[in-house]
Amino acid sequence: MDGRRQLVQGGTLFEKDLVRVLHDTTQIALERAISGASMRHSALASNLANANTPGYQRVDVDFHGTLSAAMGDRERLEQVSFAPRRDMSAGVLRADGSTVDVDTESAQLAANALEHSAAVAVAGTRIHILQIAMGVR
């Protein structure tokens, strides 16, 4: 019998504890950040696509604030979700009532893409390290 099985069967380490070690708060936060950045990307792209639509009100996804608020509680972090919301801080920028500034939106889209890529890279590296530790790679 290998040491892991003996440890688990011996009662000192339960299977759910193994899952908690492999799927820790940092990994959950990274997964949620990737999800939030993806949703924000869609919202920002929608804003750009509708920049010339009269009366269009820009939307955004505040995944940073949502994640920050949930970081202290693992269960809350696991349940966190994101939704695009109308940006009430954006004033009318154009005569047709649109609140989208193409330059600002493009810059935010680029910054968000970098955040998404960074979170994916960190999550991938963490998974790779675990695979090496388990002897899978």
Residue 97 has pLDDT above 50, yes or no: yes
Phi, psi of 62 (to 5 degrees): -90, 70
pLDDT tens digits, one per residue of 1-23: 444 444 444 555 555 555 555 66
What CA–CA distance (Å, rounded) separates 118 from 79? Answer: 22
CB atoms within 10 A of CB 81: 10
Mean pLDDT of 75-91: 88
Of 90 and 20, more confident = 90
- Name residue 117's amino acid: S
Specify the amino acid at residue 110.
Answer: A
User: Tokens representing 28?
Assistant: 């959950």
Q: Which of 2-6, 55-59, 128-132 has the weakest average pLDDT? A: 2-6
Which residue ranges make up each domain of the chain?
3-134
| Token pair listed for 40 | 């924000």
**What gap in Å lies between CA 60 and CA 39, rounded to an integer?**
9
What pLDDT is attached to residue 4? 47
* Tokens linked to 7: 């440890």
Distance CA 66, CA 60 (A): 13
